[in-house]
Amino acid sequence: MAISEMTISLPFGISDFGGVTSTTNQEKIWADRVRSVVGTSVQERVMRPAFGTEIPRTLFETEEVMSTRIEEEISQAFTSYLPLLTLDSVSVEFDSRVDVITATIIYELPNEEEATVSIGIATVSNDQPISEVLQ
């Protein structure tokens, strides 16, 4: 019998029986880890200041520069913090109608299955702070 990894399910929740929700679904576990790394800004975590990416610092660059830097940051994050995953591709799309930048990340899980995560990296508005949009 294979031992399965179990972790707290994100977003955090309480089950019907009052316990913390958890999952053994490997695709969900790894997707949560990818979101954690990509969605964390460097120096955001006090005990791990190098953890995360520099993506928020790219938000005021041109679309071309921003796209390149986001792809580089995600690639570097996979190398540094997700070495068990194989990054296949990153595509960055800009939707100026709703001011959302979406990164679609395709990667291979340790069991060699392919997985895809799309993360709305930021919403940039004149009177609103930068915020992450999960899809």
**Would you state the pLDDT for residue 123?**
54
Our measurement of the distance from residue 131's CA atom to the centroid of its chain's CA atoms, rounded to an integer in Å, reads 13
Q: Mean per-residue pLDDT for 77-102? A: 90
Name the phi and psi angles at 101, rounded to 5. Answer: -105, 120
**Reported confidence tier of residue 131, pLDDT bands at 50, 70, 90:** very low
**Would you state the pLDDT for residue 37?**
93
User: Is the Cβ–Cβ distance between 111 and 72 less than 8 Å?
Assistant: no
Mean of per-residue pLDDT scores for the chain: 84
Domains along the sequence of the chain with CATH: 7-134 (3.10.450.40)
> What are the start-end ranges of the E strands in 1-135?
7-8, 22-23, 86-95, 100-108, 114-123, 131-134
pLDDT in tens, 21-63: 888 888 988 998 999 999 899 999 999 999 999 988 887 888 8
